[in-house]
Amino acid sequence: MGFGTSSSSSSSSALKWLGFVTAVWVQSISGNNYTFSNYSGALKSLMNLTQLELNSLSVAKDVGKAFGILAGLASDRLSTPVILLIGSFEGLLGYGVQWLVVSRTIQPIPYWQMCVFLCMGGNSTTWMNTAVLVTCIRNFRRNRGPVSGILKGYVGLSTAIFTDLCNALFSSDPASFLVLLSVVPFAVCLTAVFFLREIPPSTTFAEDNEESKYFAVFNIVAVVVAVYLQSYDIIGIKTGAFSIAFASILLMLLASPVAVPFHAFIRSKVHDEQDVEGRIDEPLLRSGSEIEVEETIVGAAAAADNELPPSLKPLSNEEEENHGTIVTTEKKRPVLGEEHTIMEAMLTVDFWVLFVSFLCGVGTGLAVMNNMGQIGLALGYTDVSIFVSMTSIWGFFGRILSGTISEHFIKKAGTPRPLWNAAAQIIMAVGYLLMALALPGSLYIGSMVVGVCYGVRLAITVPTASELFGLKYYGLIYNILILNMPLGSFLFSGLLAGLLYDAEATPTPGGGNTCVGAHCFRIVFIVMAFASIIGVGLDLLLAYRTKGIYAKIHASKKTKKSGGNLR
């Protein structure tokens, strides 16, 4: 019996980490929604579009995320592999048709049909992201910050991965780029189907500590990948054997985390065998003095619990399993920290504060990403791929660092996560003002600032929603929150940027228009800076309203750590 349990425990631990590795791979290729600037120019010239029409195409891409509600509903009814397969086939079709048009394999299709296929491509990522985030946060529910930071960080890196691979292998050819967007995600999702599934989460402090060490390894690898990509952009050598070597090393770096599940399997097997040997040597009856000492420790811990004020009492086992989510059986409206249905969550002030503050961050960030090609050309840059790549890479740093740092400060001081969103929004407003001034080099600085702050917003909001409204209906709640992406894209990119750009632009022969100069986007950046300031106020309000929840999570983690040390 003992050896059977040991084998099962080792396999479970290894499978959980192997699933996380494949989740990282899926996220590494699921940021294709942010790559529109890399081929938008080809679509604009082939279809003779104005900037408003082009921005409407980018909005159609983001509207695909609005249908992510379907993925959220499915996450409670379908298995993870099925959700991944739906996303992969939809992406293959959506981006495949765009490739047929850009490569001139077929004649340009009607505008409304192109909108449909862009919408399909955008929606495909919601299925992938839902499958990955919901499964991994449930598997590692006591380390939600690092999980969210790492996974969302690789989403941010995916734009740079696609862009730099295309530059290295295909010299930035838009048609070849779309081949990568359609085929690579399909192949990676087919791999993840076999390994990504829900596994029981850790139950002891030792397991939590081991998870933290493995997440540190993932963080290190991710940072190495990001620095490697940024170095390639700075060096600028993108032809010949150098490019082939770059692509090969990048693929090896992305594959390297697979060493973690192998190490976890070996370590778990050795540990389980030692436990079995220990149980064989353990006497059947303990001495009276040992029992007295154990009872004294348990009694002292219980007394310490009772002395805590109600708001700081540690969570029970059931509560802790949800990392601050209190499951109740009484028929009453849940409070923050308890399990909420989607309707119960939407009836709270806190949900809408989180929703609107998220809109101020991701909506304005998407406007910059969708229009980066035209922003760069307006400011006199002929090659804008470096700005697309920089936004992606610095977005990664924002995501991965904010997830880990926010988790650390929750464990150390109970600092509310929304405070980090407020800090990011302030910096984001400064970045927009810098780009509005159009000083020399301001687009480089602005790209980095917007990338970092956009990444923080995504990485912080994901675990925050689960801590405030629970994990039971998290898939649906998450997909309702990301409705901000199509909504923000429509408001800030489709309307604000599109209309103001066209007002400043001059028509070109054969249709379309163009604009050169700092004035093209100046008012757009100023309006987005004001929107960011509104987001700061909302984030500070949410941090104030949720400080009790995070104090309770902090007390629970502290008590659990003390209990683990006693053992």
pLDDT in tens, 383-398: 777 787 788 788 888 8
Confidence of residue 23 (pLDDT cuts 50, 70, 90): very high
Cβ neighbours of 437 (radius 10 Å): 12
The reported pLDDT for the residue numbered 83 is 93
Q: What is the share, in percent, of the chain residues with pLDDT greater than 90?
A: 23
The stretch 297-307 carries a mean pLDDT of: 41
The stretch 266-290 carries a mean pLDDT of: 54
Q: Are 91 and 188 in contact (CB under 8 A)?
A: no
Q: What distance in Å separates the CA atoms of residue 321 and residue 509, rounded to the nearest whole number?
A: 63
Cβ neighbours of 444 (radius 10 Å): 14
Instruction: Give all domains of the chain, ordered by start, each with its CATH number.
Output: 9-268 (1.20.1250.20), 335-557 (1.20.1250.20)
The reported pLDDT for the residue numbered 283 is 45
Q: Are 509 and 378 in contact (CB under 8 A)?
A: no
Q: What distance in Å separates the CA atoms of residue 427 and residue 201, rounded to the nearest whole number?
A: 36
Q: Are 389 and 163 in contact (CB under 8 A)?
A: yes
> Residues 349-359, buried b or exposed e (16+ Cβ, 10 A)?
ebbebbbebbb
Which own/partner contact pairs does 481-485 have at CB distance under 8 Å and 24+ positions apart? 481/354, 481/355, 481/358, 482/65, 482/68, 482/126, 483/65, 483/66, 483/68, 483/69, 484/355, 484/358, 484/359, 484/362, 484/363, 485/33, 485/62, 485/65, 485/362, 485/363, 485/366
Of these ranges, 82-91, 277-286, 502-511, the one predicted with the greatest mean pLDDT is: 82-91
Question: Which stretches of 138-206 are assigned E, i.e. beta strand?
Answer: none
Q: Which two tokens stand for residue 333?
A: 């409206």
Could you tell me the CA-to-CA distances from 192 to 29, 124, 126, 379 in Å, in that order? Answer: 12, 15, 16, 42
Q: What is the mean pLDDT of the chain?
A: 80
pLDDT for residue 175 is more than 90: no
The reported pLDDT for the residue numbered 40 is 81
Q: What is the share, in percent, of the chain residues with pLDDT greater than 70?
A: 83
Q: What distance in Å separates the CA atoms of residue 259 and residue 423, rounded to the nearest whole number?
A: 36
The stretch 285-314 carries a mean pLDDT of: 43
Residue 74's H or E segment, with its range, is helix 68-75
Q: What distance in Å separates the CA atoms of residue 448 and residue 156, rounded to the nearest whole number?
A: 12
DSSP annotation of 326: B
Tell which residue, 363, 479, 320, has the closest CA to residue 58: 363
pLDDT for residue 301 is more than 90: no
pLDDT for residue 64 is more than 90: no
The residue type at 48: N
Tell me which residue has tokens 């924002």: 398
Q: Left, alpha or beta for 110 (phi > 0: left; psi -120 to 50: alpha)?
A: beta
The reported pLDDT for the residue numbered 78 is 87
514 φ, ψ (degrees, to nearest 5): -150, 155
pLDDT tens for residues 538-552? 999 999 999 888 888
> Residues 367-383, buried b or exposed e (16+ Cβ, 10 A)?
bbbbbbbbbbbbbebee
Residue 543's H or E segment, with its range, is helix 522-545
The stretch 346-366 carries a mean pLDDT of: 92
pLDDT for residue 416 is more than 70: yes
The reported pLDDT for the residue numbered 354 is 94
Half-sphere exposure of 54 (CA within 13 A, CB side): 29
Confidence of residue 38 (pLDDT cuts 50, 70, 90): confident
More confident residue, 222 or 296: 222
pLDDT for residue 373 is more than 60: yes
Tell me which residue has tokens 């399997």: 265
pLDDT for residue 328 is more than 60: no
Cβ neighbours of 80 (radius 10 Å): 22
